[in-house]
Structure 1
Amino acid sequence: MSYAQRDVGVTGGNVAVRPPRLLEQVRQRLRAKHYSLRTEQAYVGWIRRFILANDKRHPGEMGAAEVELFLSRLANDHQVAAGTQNQALAALLFLYREVLGLDLPWLENLTRAKRPQRLPVVLSAQEARTLLACMEGRAWLVASLLYGTGMRLMECLRLRIKDVDFGRGEIPVRDGKGGKDRHTVLPRSLVEPLQREVDRALMLHAQDVAEGFGQVWLPHALERKYPNANRERGWQYVFPSLHRARDPRGGVERRHHFGDAVLARALKAARVRARLLKPVTAHTFRHSFATHLIEAGYDIRTVQELLGHKDVATTQIYTHVLNRGGRGVVSPLDRA
């Protein structure tokens, strides 16, 4: 029986009320466990590809052989990266355990692809200044904040007005990677432009409220616990989108945050203007932030806390890209 046939029931010649389709069950379970929208989209995509790769058979009728073959083809035929293969495996694990309720010990024995350890791309201080000088507007401010605070891209874009502490000169990062909170520095040079951006966001919010809108997305169950919080000024995004849009999860029309694709295009154009040969992404600023702090003599534990790394070993990778060498080694040729 195919996956499509399972979703249609006939009773007395009439089409019966369908139970939720499998992919809809996956979405419901992901939302119940508070997975992010991006994770939801990725997992649903991989599960759909797994079903299509097996002639639309229902996953409950398949097992270890099909999963192993699917993951092997990803690596051998499609040459996907180790991280991509692991994401596909995580999606299938979620499907079998959380949606189908099947405890399959053979999934534990699957060989996970290991990510090769690679050194991060790091800009020099001069390169970072040159790149930022080739940007303008909100894209410049977001990029400057990434370099000046070490935040991840989505941590920056999802920043709320209440979390910019101008008085203490710091930014509390809420619900970061792994659901952890931390504090990072607020660059003094960005205080004035950030205050202007906050004023602009509040003006947009006031306009939305006047037009009968003004709600913002709240994480987890906060919207049910505090029904009016989504209209409060402090919960609004520091970098709101220029236009309102419908939330794909609930259909509510609201203002989302500044788009990461807009920043990516601005970075690409700035890199060309700056004539930089290194590949540059938003995450490159985070790598540069950490490396330049260590170069300036800051303790690695301090850098670890600012970055929100669980293990200091993750932070230590930046000691390998310092200008003076990972261990402060001077080449014998230079000594000569």
Structure 2
Amino acid sequence: MNWKAEIKTHKGQKRVVVYFDYNSSAIERLKQLEDAKWSKTLSAWHLPDNSTNRKRFGIEQEATLNTDKIAALENFVVYLRTKRYSSSTIKTYTEALKSFLSFYNLKPLESINNSDVINYHHQFILKNKLSSSYQNQIINAIKLYFAIIKDTAIQINKIYRPKSEKVLPHVLSKAEVKKILDAHSNIKHKTMLSMIYSCGLRRSELLNLKPNDIDSDRNLVIIRQAKGKKDRIAPLSASILEMLRAYYKIYRPKNWLFEGQKLGGQYDERSLALVLKQALTKANINKPVTLHWLRHSYATHLLEAGTDLRYIQELLGHKSSKTTEIYTHVSTKSLQNIKSPFDDL
């Protein structure tokens, strides 16, 4: 079973919050634990934050950082904000750098060198079987931080990266996508999932849309300041525009195109994930589908329909064409025309 646990403040108290895909036996076991509760807001189970629960769910006790490391993290955050990095990137880089600095908490910053980076890889990342993507986040944070401070033993240009994993994107068939998009009768839920697929949106891009970002005269959606601080546009199909109009008449959103239960507040990303999960249950699809699968499917279906890769790159907001080219490996259009020699036996 895939799961993760983290410490969060919920209703003024620190709790161990556990996220996992629906599993009846796991839920029954959780119910037996003291003060285990389900939170609709968090869309997760949570328990008291104590050493027993931290150990039970593999959460290490946080060591207190030395003063120089705390100051280093604070200065790093200020630098990232000045450079206008997004809040999510700031959080990712800061947590990555904190992990590295915590490992060398007792060593002066100016004494940390490239051998320490290699040792951290072996003694922490590889030992704990962490992903190469996490390792890359660490490297990005280390290189960025040590590039902006003076008196360092780190040689930035000699920090190496792990060999990247060649992982193909997950793609759904058009029939599966239709089942998912037709699963909800709630117009808001149906429209949100449909927008992600029909425009190839990332989750954050959907949630950051505002009513004025829909240009109904030109049949376009304007995606503002997406990944890489770039604006882009995507075409709106006639059917999705009709769906948006029906949705707007009912909900009349003010600040965000899709608002949560709180008037004028942005729709919660975990609630959106739950919307997809419910759609999968109703559609009787047992694959571990995520919202990003809809974006991958959009790109692959465009490619299979004959859309040029350059246009798909622009529609998805990819900086490099190499990122877009990965969809050629999952497109079945050409593969279906290949006749197996087995058929001639």
* Range class of TM-score, shorter chain: 0.7 to 0.9
Task: State the Cα deviation string for residues 182-232 of structure 1 (Å, max 9, x = none).
Answer: 2211122122332355566755x4xxxxxxxxxxxxxxxxxxxxxxxxxxx
Mapping 1:18-29, distance limit 5 Å:
21-29=71-79
Residue among 240, 248, 265 paired with 2:274: 265
Which position in structure 2 is the counterpart of 1:112? Answer: 161
Is the contact made by 1:74 and 1:85 (CA closer than 8 Å) also made in structure 2?
no
| Secondary structure of the corresponding residue to residue 167 of structure 2 | coil
Of 242, 245, 260, which residue of structure 2 is paired with 1:192?
Answer: 242
Residue 237 of structure 1, aligned match among 246, 256, 263: 256
Alignment of 1:169-188 (within 5 A): 169-188=219-238
* Distance (whole Å) between structure 2 residues aligned to residue 316 and residue 66 of structure 1: 36
Q: State the Cα distance separating 1:74 from its structure 2 match.
A: 3.8
Q: Distance in 2 between matches of 1:261 and 1:4?
A: 34
TM-superposed deviation, 1:138: 2.9
The reply to whether residue 4 of structure 1 matches residue 66 of structure 2 is yes
Aligned residue number for residue 190 of structure 2: 140
Give matches, 1:166-315, under 5 Å.
166-198=216-248, 205=254, 236-243=255-262, 256-315=265-324
How many residue pairs align between the two structures? 281
The equivalent of 1:54 in structure 2 is: 104
Deviates more, 1:296-305 or 1:323-332: 323-332
1:161 matched residue in structure 2: 211
TM-score, with normalisation over the residues of structure 1?
0.74
Would you say the 8 A contact 2:112–2:152 is kept in 1?
no
> Residues 294 and 242 (structure 1 numbering): CA distance in 2 closer, same or farther, change over 3 Å?
same
**How far did residue 302 of structure 1 move?**
2.4
Following superposition, the deviation at residue 130 of structure 1 comes to 0.8
**Deviation sequence 1:252-300 (CA, Å, 0-9, x none):** xxx5522221111222232233232332111111111111112222233
CA–CA distance in structure 2, aligned partners of residues 256 and 32 of structure 1: 27
Q: Unaligned regions of 5+ residues in structure 1, if any?
A: 8-19, 206-235, 245-254
Q: Is the 8 A contact 1:197 1:238 kept in 2?
A: no
- Equivalent residue for 1:233? none
Give the aligned residue type for 1:241.
Answer: G
Q: Which moved more, 1:150-159 or 1:56-65?
A: 56-65
The answer to whether 1:86 aligns with 2:136 is yes
SS at match of 1:126: helix
C-alpha distance 52-104 of structure 1, shift in aligned 2 (>3 A): closer
Letter of the 2:329 partner, please give it: H
User: How many Å separate the matches in 2 of 1:104 and 1:185?
Assistant: 51
- Larger mean CA deviation between 313-322 and 29-38 belongs to 313-322
Q: Is the CA contact (8 Å cut-off) linking 2:181 and 2:193 kept in structure 1?
A: yes
Residue in structure 1 matched with residue 326 of structure 2 by the alignment: 317
Q: Find the aligned partners of 2:139 and 2:321 in 1 and give their Cα distance.
A: 27
Q: Answer 1 or 2: higher relative contact order, Cα 8 Å, separation at least 6.
A: 1
**Residue number among 320, 329, 333 corresponding to 2:338 in the alignment:** 329
Structure 1 equivalent of residue 14 of structure 2: none
Name the residue aligned to 1:123: 172
What is the distance in 1 between the residues matched to 2:74 and 2:260?
28
Q: Distance in 2 between matches of 1:274 and 1:112?
A: 41
Cα pair distance change 1:77/1:36, threshold 3 Å: same
1:4–1:116: structure 2 CA closer, same or farther, 3 Å change rule? Answer: closer
Distance 1:6 1:198, change over 3 A: same
Alignment match, 1:39:
89
Q: Distance in 2 between matches of 1:278 and 1:164?
A: 32
Deviations 1:51-96 (A, max 9, x none): 2222454433422222222223343211111111000111122222
Amino acid aligned to 1:59? L
Paired with 2:307 and 2:267, the residues of 1 have a C-alpha distance of: 32
Q: What is the CA–CA distance in structure 2 between the aligned matches of 1:193 and 1:293, rounded to whole Å? A: 21
Per-residue deviation at 1:151?
1.7
- When residues 183 and 5 of structure 1 are mapped into structure 2, their CA distance, relative to the original with a 3 A threshold, is closer
TM-score (norm 2): 0.72
